Amino acid sequence: MLSNPFSPIFGGKPDVFFGRDRILRLFDLAMVDSGSDERAVFITGTRGSGKTALLEQLSIRAGKKKRKVIDLGPDNTIEQLIHELSGYDEVTNTISPQANLSVLGIGGGISGGSVSKTRRNGREALQPLLLETCAKTKQGLLVTVDEIQKVAVEDISALCNAFQMASRKGYDIMLAVAGLPYAYSQIIRHEGCTYLRRASHEEIGLFTWDEAADALTKVFSGIKGLQIDQTFIDRINKVSFGHPYLMQLLGYHLILQVNNQQSEKKCVVTESELAEAEKNALLAYEQRALTPLFEELPEKAKKYLVKMSDCMGDDRLSRTSDIARTLGDTQAKLSRTRAYLIDHGIIAAPERGKVMFCIPYLADYVKKDTGVNSTMDVVRQRRV
């Protein structure tokens, strides 16, 4: 059985990491160059573009350089960070069990049990704790925050202010955050987030043909006992559109098919195995990526995408005037919906008056009749 290096874990850490060599190289340089702009990095991209995987790579590389690393999620971010910096998130003050009193000039003492009062460390505790940790950390500190768009802006502001002070004091400190495309413009507009406004903004998306080809060739050539024709690798490249998550899915399902069909130590990939892998991978992509993405959208955005797909020409572009006409609305009234979809990285405006899909296979998916796809649909259909 062949080992399968592909791991299509949505939002998780894949066993094999594709590309992003330029970002990784700049990050490595920033770890030794205190004046580098890459000491603060703001990564944005749509779901499945590899933001979490890239953050994990930065974390791993920093750890290998003996840098202290703190990885944070979007829930209770400041509390998480305070706990990691101090080892606790509460402070207990104890009142002395003996107090001296003076009643009408007569001294006396009262004994009793100690009284403890516990208070939680809030945002105000972050800056001194961060400075204290930086002073003790000889190899520097890296903090990463995933899904930054879900973090309260007050927490982001507190984080920025603390990092700003640590940088001002000359400490060896780095920050890397990742979020959906709209997160960047939303956060940097906030007055308290100046530190991230100056961060290096890395927008990650689809790989180019050459980037995807190099990555796929490298991974497949490293699988002991596997023989795969270059035309098959090119086909996977084409079907994936250079989408990192799709590349993982296609690779995973192909090795799965080969292991199911062949038992020899040396396996040659066949046309039928690749075709079955493509079918299974695209079905999984639809269920795990496209369906959740589409269902989370506002109704107006869903209708816009459907009409946009209907109006798409051979050049894969749709005229905003045609979309407005088929929706029976004006372009001005639809501008907010269009802006929402652009901000979320779902569509783009490559030319004036035209839009295009940015998510592979979404143009076809939005027109699909999903049929009975939930318990509620079944209940309604059967008229319970």
Lowest average pLDDT, out of 13-22, 50-59, 111-120, 352-361, goes to 111-120
- pLDDT of 370: 55
Cα–Cα separations (whole angstroms), residue 381 to 33, 259, 366, 378:
64, 41, 22, 5
Q: Decide if pLDDT at 91 tops 50.
A: no
Cα–Cα separations (whole angstroms), residue 326 to 117, 162, 188, 245:
65, 51, 36, 33
Q: Give the separation between CA 62 and CA 298, rounded to whole angstroms.
A: 40
CB 318 within 8 A of CB 355: yes
Tens digits of per-residue pLDDT, 281-295? 999 999 999 999 999
Tens digits of per-residue pLDDT, 190-200? 988 989 988 99
Q: Decide if pLDDT at 346 tops 90.
A: yes
SS3 content of the chain, % helix, strand, coil (to 5): 50, 15, 30
Q: Which residues contact 339 (CB under 8 A, 6 or more apart)?
A: none
Tens digits of per-residue pLDDT, 174-188? 999 999 999 998 899
| Confidence label for 383 from pLDDT (cuts 50, 70 and 90) | confident
CB 187 within 8 A of CB 156: yes
- pLDDT of 93: 41
Tally of CA atoms within 13 A in the half-sphere of 232 that contains its CB: 21
Give the chain's mean pLDDT. Answer: 87
Q: What percentage of residues in the chain have a pLDDT greater than 90?
A: 69
Closest by Cα among 259, 341, 263 to 297: 341
The mean pLDDT value for 54-78 works out to: 94
Beta bridge partners of 100: 109
Cα–Cα separations (whole angstroms), residue 338 to 28, 233, 309, 324, 330:
38, 36, 14, 11, 12
Cβ neighbours of 145 (radius 10 Å)? 24
- pLDDT of 126: 92
